[in-house]
Structure 1
Amino acid sequence: MTGIESLSSFITTGRLHGIGIGSTLGEVDRALRHRCVDVVDEGGASLRRDYGFVELYFNPGEEWVMSGGSIELQRLAHAPELATRWSESTGVEFARYTAWADVREALSSVPSAPEFTVTDQGGFRDYRAERSCVSVLVVDDDEEERGYRVGHGDVWSVSLWAPVRVN
């Protein structure tokens, strides 16, 4: 599977390799057999699991439960070997750069693709899909060119957040 196909699925469903908000640490371990580093904050109130260019966030309870995550695509511009290692363990091949236009094209063929709310984030555009709780941050600076960093029109990151519950 290509990175663009994986991102299209993630943006549409809010799930990455079958895991998402509410998945337990055990479920994540079964879904992602990839090297990672766990960082628990000093008070034990949160866990960040870093897989290289993918990070997942967890809250404690009877067991750690996923509360969010992000795919930090900008890291691949200067460290493409992260994508190679990810592909070896997951079968998903990410390119060094991911153009938002290519992701949008892939989403156009997905019947359940979400609608986006677009906001300006000072040099970035944030495309929020409320239904799936995913946002895509895209470089929106004409001066930025591909190289050691991602360029204009490239996806910087794709983030998943827990929905706010109203009582």
Structure 2
Amino acid sequence: MTVSAAGPIASFIASGRLYGVGIDSTLMELQQAISCDFVDVVDEDGDSMRRDYGFIEFYLNSGENWSVSGGAIELHRLAAHGDMADRWRAAMRDDFPQYLAWDELYGDFSKLPNPPALQNIDQGDFQEYRASATKVSVLVNNDHEERDEWLGHGDVWSVSLG
């Protein structure tokens, strides 16, 4: 059975954790939480790494153990590449939509017990909703009007931790 991803995304905004993974989670915890194909991209100095699952990424810093320093759900990639969501659905049983309207996501977020306050910041082509308490930001498309291979006005572009 698959689950709509709007709920897990709303929980991510409220908690700063996606599938239980958040800032300071270890690489081992990330590997245990997410069982989907990925590519690791390590910087030239070996100090940081990006674990790329397609439209979901986690950023890690080296040290005694690799630890999560941030991450992002890049929903804008799904408008033209729905196959990424198909692979995720098969591995994780969550159904990420090709488009996700902010109104729908905010509806799920506002139903959570004690959701953190969101700061609304106009970024020109984007509207940012930032939960300072959890270090999560949601970017919403303010520009393009109609949905096609691009997001429409009011659609969520990305949800970022860090």
TM range (shorter): over 0.9
Q: Comparing 62-71 with 106-115, which one deviates more in the overlay?
A: 106-115
Q: Secondary structure at the match of 1:33?
A: coil
> How many residues end up aligned between the 2 structures?
160
**Superposition TM-score, scaled by structure 2 size:** 0.96
Residue matched to 1:112: 114
Residue ranges of structure 2 left out of the alignment (5+ in a row) = none
Q: Distance in 2 between matches of 1:32 and 1:111?
A: 25
1:42 pairs with 2:38: no
Q: Secondary structure at the match of 1:157?
A: strand
Q: Secondary structure at the match of 1:152?
A: coil
Q: Distance in 1 between matches of 2:148 and 2:97?
A: 13
Shift of 1:3: 1.0
Residue matched to 2:157: 156
1:31 pairs with 2:28: no
Following superposition of structure 1 onto structure 2, how do residues 133-152 of structure 1 map, counting pairs within 5 Å? 133-141=135-143, 143-152=144-153
1:70 pairs with 2:72: yes
Shift of 1:49: 0.6
1:89 pairs with 2:91: yes
Q: Distance in 1 between matches of 2:54 and 2:110?
A: 29
Shift of 1:82: 0.6
Q: Distance in 1 between matches of 2:11 and 2:118?
A: 15
Q: Distance in 1 between matches of 2:145 and 2:132?
A: 28
Q: Secondary structure at the match of 2:152?
A: coil
Residue matched to 1:22: 24
Q: Distance in 1 between matches of 2:128 and 2:33?
A: 28
Shift of 1:132: 1.1
Residue matched to 2:125: 123
Q: Distance in 1 between matches of 2:114 and 2:21?
A: 19
Corresponding letter in the other structure for 1:158: V
Percent identical across equivalent pairs?
49
Corresponding letter in the other structure for 2:76: Q
Q: Distance in 2 between matches of 1:47 and 1:22?
A: 14
- Structure 1 consecutive aligned stretches of length 4 or more whose deviation exceeds 3 Å: none
Residue ranges of structure 1 left out of the alignment (5+ in a row) = 162-167
Q: Distance in 2 between matches of 1:38 and 1:108?
A: 35
Shift of 1:144: 2.9
Corresponding letter in the other structure for 2:14: T
Residue matched to 1:164: none
Q: Distance in 2 between matches of 1:104 and 1:9?
A: 11
